A and B are shown apart, each in its own frame.
Chain A
Amino acid sequence: DAGITQSPRHKVTETGTPVTLRCHQTENHRYMYWYRQDPGHGLRLIHYSYGVKDTDKGEVSDGYSVSRSKTEDFLLTLESATSSQTSVYFCAISESWRERNQPQHFGDGTRLSIL
């Protein structure tokens, strides 16, 4: 299994509070991704990173920010959580451009509930 650790695994919080989810990898992969999974939508890309301090938006980036200060860590922040952000969040990693034909590998997910 790819060395990906997401924390926390479960979190319940209140509307309006800030929330940070962490993804940590031990594979030294260049690319990291944050997705959210909701019934009827499959997985949707929130943000991704193609290197330290290099990030870009995905399909559903509004209300989310990310940071990557080290190769191994990719943080997802909800500045002011809303109930619509209740979801399961997955982190994924993939290798360099030369290995771009390999699949993304996913973490175990974080179940976030915003009341």
Chain B
Amino acid sequence: ELKVEQNPLFLSMQEGKNYTIYCNYSTTSDRLYWYRQDPGKSLESLFVLLSNGAVKQEGRLMASLDTKARLSTLHITAAVHDLSATYFCAVDMSYGGATNKLIFGTGTLLAVQP
């Protein structure tokens, strides 16, 4: 059974600081996704990571994937208040398959303080 663990669950950080959110998963997968959710809102896709060593960057966020370690990281550089949200990683449990069935981590609530 595929399990996905995120840590930390809650992260309070100051503007301008750097930090990393970790996503560990328990079985082989070839696709990992990062999403952002603002309070009371839908989920917004941030990154799709498809292969070992994949790195994607958008603004102050950078995501990477190590399939051998079954680990993905979401790195935040010089945080700003607008990045405050809950971040989810999601792992595709249908390895090599087509159905795109996702297992989500429990989420990391990020609060960026001025």
CA distance A44 to B103 in the complex (A): 7
Q: Which of A40, A41, A104, A108 sits near B100, CB closer than 8 Å?
A: A104
Contact partners of A41 in chain B: CB under 8 A: 106
Is B99 within 8 A of A31, CB to CB? yes
Is B102 touching A108 in the complex (CB atoms < 8 A)? Answer: no
A32-65 residues at the B interface, CB under 8 angstroms: 33, 35, 40-45, 48, 50, 56, 58-59
Find out whether the CB atom of A58 lies under 8 angstroms from the CB atom of B88. Answer: no
- Indicate with 1 or 0, residue by residue over B82-106, a CB within 8 angstroms of chain A CB atoms: 0000001010000000111111111
Contact with A100, one of B88, B98, B104, B106 (Cβ below 8 angstroms): B98
Q: How large is the interface on B (under 10, 10 to 19, 20 to 34, 35 or more residues)?
A: 20 to 34
Q: Which residue of A lies closest to B31 (CB)?
A: A101
The answer to the question of B25 belonging to the interface, with a C-beta cut-off of 8 Å to chain A, is no
- The answer, among A43, A56, A109, for a CB contact under 8 Å with B88, is A43
Sample 10 A-B pairs with CB under 8 A, ordered by A number.
A42-B105, A58-B101, A59-B103, A90-B42, A100-B31, A100-B98, A101-B31, A101-B48, A106-B42, A108-B42
